[in-house]
Structures are given as C-alpha cells and as structure tokens.
Chains A and B, each alone.
Chain A
Amino acid sequence: DSGVTQTPKHLITATGQRVTLRCSPRSGDLSVYWYQQSLDQGLQFLIQYYNGEERAKGNILERFSAQQFPDLHSELNLSSLELGDSALYFCASSEGTMTSTDTQYFGPGTRLTVL
C-alpha cells in the first residue's frame, strides 16, 4: 500500500459524458501527478500540481483538466469522452517537485471504460 488513494476504482460511462477522478496523496506529499495508461500508448504523463499550483504539463488533452485543492487532494476531469479515453488513470504523489530526487508513489489507479 503506497498511501495514495484513488476513487473510484472502476468507472463505466458512455461517449460524450464527463467524469471526475479523485486522488488523495500520501500524508505530507505536496506534489500530485496524473498519468494515463492504455494498451497501445503505455504510461503517459498528463499533469503535475505542486501545493495547489500547476507545475508541469505533459500530453494532456484540452478536454481534460485537473486541479489540486487546499487540502492537497486532486481531481482529474475528463469531458466529451471518446472510446479512446478508455484507460487506467494513475495518480502519484511525492514530497517535492519533479526535478528533485523525490520518489513518486503511485495509487492503485482508476479503470475508465467508455462505451
């Protein structure tokens, strides 16, 4: 158990819909990262927040957005869902920023299925 929690564990929805994935980092960690893992694309970095502010942005679509709240939990919002958005979405947390030696601890993931 990494100490990072993600809800829900599974989510099934239809194309065109909007969903919100939630992540609670390990106690004391200020950074939250979001990743998408699909069979054909591997693990893709989406976005990082550090202490409530966006710190780095990877391959995140405009239909996706995220935020980190004052209590440091984070939400990833996916809208206008397409079949290709079906994937495992991981959240990770670390003490500091990406460019440090901080280890990222991954949550168990949310499996999203778009029908």
Chain B
Amino acid sequence: GQNIDQPTEMTATEGAIVQINCTYQTSGFNGLFWYQQHAGEAPTFLSYNVLDGLEEKGRFSSFLSRSKGYSYLLLKELQMKDSASYLCAEIYGQNFVFGPGTRLSVLP
C-alpha cells in the first residue's frame, strides 16, 4: 500500500516475543490499525492507535509515535496459531490505506 512500509517476512520461535514494525506517512494521519490475516481468510481486528503510547491487549500490544510516523505490534508468548500476515493500516485523510503486510512464521 502507498505510504506504508512493513517488513515482508519474519520468523520467530514458539514462546518467544516478536516486534513487527510499520512506518507510515504522517501528514493527514487520522489513526492506525493492526489486523491479523490467516491465509485465505478475512482480516481480523487487533488494535487501534490514535494517540502516542502503548496499547496492551493480552498477548498483543501496539505502540504509536505520531511524530516519527512509526508503529509496532508486539506479540508475546508466541503460539503456532500466530503464524499469519499482520497488516498495518492507516486512516489517511478520508482514505484507508493498508501496508503490504508482514508474514510471520512461528516455528516449534
């Protein structure tokens, strides 16, 4: 997606912690979402950030720095079922722009 950058692929071990980074265009920013998408399935909502700081929801946390145009998704105590694509999405003006997604593989 335009203006948004994420690593293409990441690999981590079951039980570990992984951080997925996302950079986005700051002008016109109105909020940032993280979605999880398993292959062939619909995206499911994980988190929403509009203010700076860390939002924690169980094993998943999301961080936002508006001045740096930077966000990350932190996944703790990784499980095999966390193997999926993680999509960073920005509300940009009146548009909704998704990043290319990061494919995470969790290995035993």
Contacts and interface: CB of A to CB of B under 8 A. Distances in A.
Interface of A: 2, 33, 42-45, 48, 55-58, 90, 98-99, 101, 103-109
A106 B97 contact: no
Interface stretch (B12-20, B37-45, B57-65, B67-75): B37-45
Given A104-B45, A108-B42, A42 B100 contact: yes
Chain B contact-residue range equals 20 to 34
Contacts of B95: 45, 56, 58
Contacts of A107: 42
B43 A99 contact: no
B94 A56 contact: yes
Given A42-B1, A43-B1, A90 B43 contact: yes
Contact of A101 (B31, B94, B96): B31
Contacts of B100: 42
B24 interface: no
B30 A101 contact: no
B106 interface: no
Nearest to A33: B96
Contacts of B98: 42-45
B48 A45 contact: no
A42 B43 CA distance: 12
Interface string B74-108: 00000000000001010100111111110000000
15 contacts: A42-B98, A42-B101, A44-B1, A45-B96, A55-B94, A57-B94, A58-B95, A58-B96, A90-B42, A98-B91, A99-B91, A99-B94, A106-B44, A107-B42, A108-B41
B54 interface: no
B92 to A, nearest CB: 10
